[in-house]
Amino acid sequence: VKRVAIVGVGLIGASFALALRKAGFDGEIIGVSSPRSIEAGLAAGAIARGASLEEAAESADLIYLAQPIDRILNTLPRLGRIAPPDCLITDAGSTKREIIAAAAEHVRRAAFVGGHPMAGKESRGAESADADLFRNRPYVLATDLVPKVHAETHLPAIREWLQRIGAVVYEMSAAEHDRTVALTSHLPQLLSTALAATLAKQQTSAVSRVFGPGLMDMTRLALSAPEVWMSVLESNRDAVLDAIGNYQETLSNLRENLERGELNDVFGTASRFAQSLRK
Amino acid sequence: VKRVAIVGVGLIGASFALALRKAGFDGEIIGVSSPRSIEAGLAAGAIARGASLEEAAESADLIYLAQPIDRILNTLPRLGRIAPPDCLITDAGSTKREIIAAAAEHVRRAAFVGGHPMAGKESRGAESADADLFRNRPYVLATDLVPKVHAETHLPAIREWLQRIGAVVYEMSAAEHDRTVALTSHLPQLLSTALAATLAKQQTSAVSRVFGPGLMDMTRLALSAPEVWMSVLESNRDAVLDAIGNYQETLSNLRENLERGELNDVFGTASRFAQSLRK
């Protein structure tokens, strides 16, 4: 990899650039983004200059799409036509099936490998970029390569760079990825939102005064901005509906167990699982 | 208040003792607890000595019950018979209706004011005691005084000490307290437990590897030990079932909105409520 283009110079894109640099990448890193984001990316030292998507596709051999999902879905048809055969395109979108389907349809000569870094922070933009954002965090690479054989020759390079920036790389199909994040990311988001919405409906002001730190944990995700989530949830609707259905069943069972005074089993199972996440 | 007895020298009891001392209380503080807890309370500098419940009832003018709910319910009949008229009994149990009903039945000459500090930490025991545990945290005093007129004369003293240790005192009926904590404490606990239990049931190991910090927030409460929660939930079953019912309705609506792609409203409501908790 000699020249990298970051498309979408926000928190993830700029952090990826800083991480590459810290891991020893010495080629040029260019940014494709709004003028405001290019400016922030330059100020953060993440990119050397701004460029158009066309220029990036011509000159970069790694193109990193760090836009929101709906923007990635718009970028792929444009990029797919112009990116040359020696170019590897990868993305950081939170769901993988739709993006990979779009890549399979539109990426003509270049190769595409879908990715998803499970990293982030509350503040957004290149201003918050951090070379260690991906360190010790899961980073999924989808095994649905586009096109298969051509992308396979590119795969080791991206995998190696991800390992050099400290990410813990997992490889799985886009379908397994989307099912998994429906359970571990989208479901928790919706449960937190539903909890805050349930409390907001109460007539008494006591609910916003009389609470402990547990409620703060459980409503932190509810602070998320809707616009970030809409395209994530839309692009994973079936898996998210399944995950909600699973949860509704567990909650109904738990409710029945509470009526019968038999909660020990579910508390034990839950506690062991929560501990296993922390090992 | 000249002499205080802490019944149940664990995290809450020992922290209350240290907080009183830090706030300038210069009378004797004695502990009623297991030999192991008395030892830990002595080592933490929280209590001057151990005593039997009988001795504590004879000599203390403030008795602070910091046991689990089921233990408080056992202690009240014994204590109620022997505590003299100039003695104020208060408690730190997580639900209030059952405890106050037991106090109304059993506390004969002394006065009883129910309380609930919304404070705690993950580690337990007097070893973890902290004089600032209650600082800036809500502390509910139940307005169902036992007996009403007699307890009213004692109330200002306990309210003043709570303010001196930095707690934010709220006064409300036991019923309103129990409804409120069903929503702000017991419901979040059960939602976290149900989330961890839902994920534990999945056949794939990916759910315990591919996740971000949000899942850690949402499963922290699931780490709780069942034995702490059983008597809390049993003593508040009707209010907790109502809270779960409210939540199930919100979650069903959210699911329908997701199917229709109309999530903006619930995200907006939830986000504003979550922000209001942080002001």
Q: Does A157 touch chain B (CB under 8 A)?
A: no
The size of the A-B interface in CB pairs under 8 A is: 307
What is the pLDDT at residue A261? 86
Instruction: Please say whether the beta carbons of B32 and B63 come within 8 A.
Output: no
User: How far is it, in rounded angstroms, from Cα A184 to Cα A246?
Assistant: 13
Q: Please judge whether B270 and A180 are an interchain contact, meaning their C-beta atoms are less than 8 angstroms apart.
A: no
pLDDT band at B154 (very low <50, low <70, confident <90, very high): very high
Nearest Cβ partner of B277 from A138, A219, A221? A219
Residues of chain B above pLDDT 90, percent:
91
- Taking the Cβ of residue A175 and every Cβ of chain B, the question of whether any pair is shorter than 8 Å is answered with no
Q: Which helix (DSSP H) or strand (DSSP E) does residue B213 occupy?
A: helix B213-219
For B275, name the nearest residue in chain A, comparing CA atoms only: A223
pLDDT at A122 (0 to 100): 76
- Do A273 and B196 lie within an 8 Å CB cutoff? yes
Is residue A203 scored above 90 in pLDDT?
A: no
Q: What percent of chain A has pLDDT over 70?
A: 100
What average pLDDT does this structure show over A224-251? Answer: 94
Query: How would residue B129 be classed by pLDDT, with cut points 50, 70 and 90?
Result: very high
Question: How crowded is the C-beta side of A218, counted as CA atoms within 13 Å?
Answer: 29
Chain A residues within an 8 Å CB radius of B70: none
What would the pLDDT profile of B9-57 be if each residue is shown by its tens digit?
Answer: 999 999 999 999 999 999 999 999 999 999 999 999 999 999 999 999 9
Cβ within 8 Å, pair A197-B255 = no
Surface of A (89-108) touching B: CB under 8 A:
none
Q: CB distance A263–B226 less than 8 Å?
A: yes
Q: Is the pLDDT of residue A98 over 80?
A: yes
Least Cα distance to B267 among A233, A222, A69, A183 occurs for A222
Q: Which tokens belong to B170?
A: 């709220």
What's the per-residue H, E or C state across chain B? Answer: CCEEEEECCCHHHHHHHHHHHHCCCCCEEEEECCHHHHHHHHHCCCCCEECCHHHHHHHCCEEEECCCHHHHHHHHHHHHHHCCCCCEEEECCCCCHHHHHHHHHHCCCCEEECEEECCCCCCCCHHHCCCCCCCCCEEEEECCCECHHHHHHHHHHHHHHHHHCCCEEEEECHHHHHHHHHHHHHHHHHHHHHHHHHHHCCCCHHHHCCCCHHHHHHHCHHHCCHHHHHHHHHCCHHHHHHHHHHHHHHHHHHHHHHHHCCCHHHHHHHHHHHHHHCC
pLDDT value for B261: 86
pLDDT at A14: 98
- Please, which pLDDT band fits residue B118 given cuts at 50, 70 and 90? very high
For the cut 90, the answer to whether the pLDDT of residue B227 exceeds it is: no
Inter-chain contact B196–A278, Cβ cutoff 8 Å? no
Predicted pLDDT of residue A19:
98
- Which runs of E-coded beta strand occur in chain B? 3-7, 28-32, 49-50, 62-65, 88-91, 111-113, 115-117, 138-142, 168-172
Query: Which helix (H) or strand (E) element contains residue A263?
Result: none
A191 touching chain B per CB within 8 A: yes
Q: Kindly report, residue by residue over A23-40, the tens digit of the pLDDT.
A: 999 999 999 999 999 999
pLDDT of A200: 97
List of chain A residues whose C-beta atoms are within 8 Å of the C-beta of residue B218: 188, 191-192, 217-218, 221
- The answer on pLDDT for A135 being more than 90 is yes
Q: Round the average pLDDT of chain A to a whole number and report it.
A: 96
- Cβ neighbours of A207 in B, within 8 Å: 180, 183-184
Q: Which helix (H) or strand (E) is B55 found in, with range?
A: helix B53-59
Task: Identify any residues that bridge with B117 across adjacent strands, giving them in sequence order.
Answer: B139
Which is nearest to B186 in space by CA: B263, B147, B142, B239? Answer: B239
Disruptive mutation site among B184, B201, B216, B240 for chain A (greatest number of A CBs within 10 Å)? B184
**What is the average pLDDT score of chain B?**
96
Confidence of residue B225 (pLDDT cuts 50, 70, 90): confident
Beta carbons of B32 and B56 less than 8 angstroms apart: yes
Q: Hey, is the C-beta of B216 within 8 angstroms of any chain A C-beta?
A: yes
| Complex prediction ipTM | 0.94
pLDDT tens column, A30-75? 999 999 999 999 999 999 999 999 999 999 999 999 999 999 999 9
In the 8-state DSSP scheme, what is residue B204?
A: -
User: Which residues of chain B does A215 touch, with a Cβ-Cβ cutoff of 8 Å?
Assistant: 184-185, 188, 277
User: Is 80 exceeded by the pLDDT of residue B60?
Assistant: yes
Tell me the nearest-neighbour CA distance from B47 into chain A, angstroms. Answer: 26
Contact B208 A273 (CB under 8 A): yes
* C-beta atoms of B210 and A272 within 8 A: no
Which of B191, B215, B225 comes nearest A218 by C-beta?
A: B191
CB-CB under 8 Å, B270 with A229:
no
**pLDDT band at residue B171 under the 50/70/90 scheme:** very high
- Are A274 and B196 a contacting pair at CB < 8 A? yes
Cβ–Cβ gap B210/A277 under 8 Å: no
Q: Which of B224, B248, B255 sits opposite A241 (nearest CB)?
A: B255
Q: Which residues of A touch B217 (CB under 8 A)?
A: 188, 192, 217-218, 220-221
Mutate to test the interface with A, among B123, B136, B218 (most CBs of A within 10 A): B218
In the predicted structure, residue A196 carries a pLDDT above the cut 80: yes
Q: Got the DSSP string for B64-82?
A: EE-S-HHHHHHHHHHHHHH
Torsion angle of the four alpha carbons A38, A40, A46, A48, in this order, in degrees rounded to the nearest 10: 40
Residue B144 per-residue DSSP state: -
Q: Are residues B229 and A277, on separate chains, in Cβ contact within 8 Å?
A: no
Tell me: cis bond preceding A147? Omega within 30 of 0 counts.
yes
Q: Does B203 touch chain A (CB under 8 A)?
A: no
Binned at pLDDT 50, 70 and 90, residue A204 comes out as confident
**Radius of gyration in angstroms for the set of CA atoms belonging to chain B, rounded to a whole number:** 21
When CB atoms are compared, the residue of B208, B251, B276 closest to A194 is B251
Does B206 lie at the interface with A, CB-CB under 8 angstroms? yes
pLDDT of residue A264: 85
| Coil vs helix vs strand at A232 | helix
